[in-house]
Amino acid sequence: MKHLVSLAAALCVSGTLLSATAGQAQAPTGYYVAVPAAPVAKTSLVTRSTAWSRRGGAFVAAQAPERPQILCQLVADRVGGLSSFAVKGQAYDADQLAKCNAHVKPAPAQMVAR
């Protein structure tokens, strides 16, 4: 009987832990996943012919006709820079990400008058 009570208690604890884990947010998935460097109010955007939707703190899109580097540059420009970009689950390294962010145009308020 004592073992049965211990087993029941262990099952209750396991169930509680599993349900807490299942309730936690998972990383967004998509063919492309772009995480803005700063919070963005937009919930969706379009780059050329690619529709992006925000899931959590990232924008995701299905496979598109443009090369991944071009898509990275386009979405980075639309959201003001990226902290990460992934294609089919493979994250860009620091150099690739820097190339994407190098194409970000400054916001009008940041432009310097000459």
One-letter identity of residue 92: Y
Range of the domain at 78: 32-106
Is 43 within a domain?
A: yes
Instruction: Tell me how far apart the alpha carbons of residues 73 and 62 are, in angstroms, rounded to a whole number.
Output: 16
Is 82 within a domain?
A: yes
Is 75 within a domain?
A: yes
Instruction: Tell me how far apart the alpha carbons of residues 105 and 55 are, in angstroms, rounded to a whole number.
Output: 24
Is 95 within a domain?
A: yes
How many structural domains is the chain composed of? 1
pLDDT at 109: 58
Is 2 within a domain?
A: no
Average pLDDT of the residues of the chain: 79
Is 88 within a domain?
A: yes
Beta strand spans in 1-114 (E): 32-36, 44-47, 50-55, 58-61, 82-87, 90-91
Tens digits of residue pLDDT in 49-108: 999 999 999 999 999 999 999 999 999 999 999 999 999 999 999 999 999 999 898 876
Is 55 within a domain?
A: yes
